[in-house]
Structure formats: structure tokens, C-alpha cells
């Protein structure tokens, strides 16, 4: 019989491997379209959902408290971008594409959180402690964006990943970081 520790170790390696596989597939499918490739984004999200399911993700809590944490986290994530946006013109985007774009963005954000702050965080918490869980998921979160968005995003994604990890620890569920991550990404349409 596999012990809880061994199972956690397997889940950690499985989740990290799944993340790497999903990123590699996304980069491969996207080609020069990069982050703008919708098919690559959908594939990335679906692979991550499969990884989360294969790793036995627990059903996330769905409570107002979790959502409140998520909304607060999203506000923190958006604040610097909003301040930067005030000082420059930004890009004016046509409204017609928002529904399709938002659907894929939400899929990707939720799928990432289910693997990172769901499966991986839980396994790390079981095997190590809360600090290690936040640290490893933060680094993994930042690294998985580099192939798609470039090294210049590393610092910001480290900070954002840490905040999402803190939300996970404080709220006790993946729901809060998933809500924060999704809302912040969706707000990007107006904060570009």
C-alpha cells in the first residue's frame, strides 16, 4: 500500500510534469502566434484540467467567503495595472471579441489554479508545510508563463503567484485564488 507521503510525492511530480507538458504543448501548437493563439490556449486549459482530474483533485469549496477573498485578491492584482493604465493611453479594443476571449481566459485561469493551488499545493502541504507549498507553487506559476510571455514577466508573475498562494493559504481553498486569478485576467481587457 502506498503511504500518504509517497502519494504526495507522486502527486507533486505528476503535477509539475503535467504543467511542463501543458506548457510545451501550448508553445508547440501556438507557434509564432504565441499567447494570442486561441486553440493553443484551449488545449493548454484542457490538458491542465485533465492533469487535475488525474491527480484526484478534491472538490473545491464554493462559499461566499472564498469568493470574497477572490474579489479582494483580484482588486490587489489589478490595482498596479490600473494605476499604470491611468498614465498611458493603452490599447483600445473592439468589443465584439470579448465573450470568446473571456471564455478561454477563464478556462485557462481556473485550470491553472486547479493544478497549482489545488493538486500541487495540497500535495506539498501534506508532504511539507504551508511555506513550502506557497513557495513551490509561486515559482512554478512564474516559470510556466515564461515560454509564452517572455522573461520580462517573471518578476510580476512571481509577485502575483505569491499573492495567489497567500490567498489559498488564508482562505483554505483553491476557490479564492481561482476567482482572483480569473477576475484579474478578465479585467486585463480594459487594463491593457
- State which of positions 58-117 bind other proteins (CB under 8 A): 76-78, 80-81, 83-85, 88-94, 97, 100-101, 104-106, 108-109, 112
Nearer to other proteins, 65 or 100 (CB): 100
36 binds other proteins (CB under 8 A): yes
Residue 87's SS3 state is coil
Q: Which of 129, 126, 177 is nearest to 10 (CA)?
A: 126
Are 23 and 52 in contact by the 8 Å Cβ rule? The answer is no
Are 148 and 30 in contact by the 8 Å Cβ rule? The answer is yes
18 binds other proteins (CB under 8 A): no
Nearer to other proteins, 59 or 184 (CB): 184
Residue 63, phi-psi category: left (phi > 0), alpha (psi -120 to 50), beta (remainder): beta
C-alpha 95: how far from its chain's center? 25
In the complex, the smallest distance separating the C-beta of residue 64 from other proteins, rounded to whole angstroms, is 18
Of 1, 32, 86, 99, the one binding other proteins by CB under 8 A: 32
> Of residues 138-167, which lie at the interface with other proteins (CB under 8 A)?
139-140, 143-147, 149-153, 155-160, 162-163, 166
7 binds other proteins (CB under 8 A): no
Nearer to other proteins, 57 or 164 (CB): 164
170 binds other proteins (CB under 8 A): yes
Residue 37, phi-psi category: left (phi > 0), alpha (psi -120 to 50), beta (remainder): beta
What span, in angstroms and rounded, lies between the C-alpha atoms of 170 and 153? 25
Amino acid at each position: 500500500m502506498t503511504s500518504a507521503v509517497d502519494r504526495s510525492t507522486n502527486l507533486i511530480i505528476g503535477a509539475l510534469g503535467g504543467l511542463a507538458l501543458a506548457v510545451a504543448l501550448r508553445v508547440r501548437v501556438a507557434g509564432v502566434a504565441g499567447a494570442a493563439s486561441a486553440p493553443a490556449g484551449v488545449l493548454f486549459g484542457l490538458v491542465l484540467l485533465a492533469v487535475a482530474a488525474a491527480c484526484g483533485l478534491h472538490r473545491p469549496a464554493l462559499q461566499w467567503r472564498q469568493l470574497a477573498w477572490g474579489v479582494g485578491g483580484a482588486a490587489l492584482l489589478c490595482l498596479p495595472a490600473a494605476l499604470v493604465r491611468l498614465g498611458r493611453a493603452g490599447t483600445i479594443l473592439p468589443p465584439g471579441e470579448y465573450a470568446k476571449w473571456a471564455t478561454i481566459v477563464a478556462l485557462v485561469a481556473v485550470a491553472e489554479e486547479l493544478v497549482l493551488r489545488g493538486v500541487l499545493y495540497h500535495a506539498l502541504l501534506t508532504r511539507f508545510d504551508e511555506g513550502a507549498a506557497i513557495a513551490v507553487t509561486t515559482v512554478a506559476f512564474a516559470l510556466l508563463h515564461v515560454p509564452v510571455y517572455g522573461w520580462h514577466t517573471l518578476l510580476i508573475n512571481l509577485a502575483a503567484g505569491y499573492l495567489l498562494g497567500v490567498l489559498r493559504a488564508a482562505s483554505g481553498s483553491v476557490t479564492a485564488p481561482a476567482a482572483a486569478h480569473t477576475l484579474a485576467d478578465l479585467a486585463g481587457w480594459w487594463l491593457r
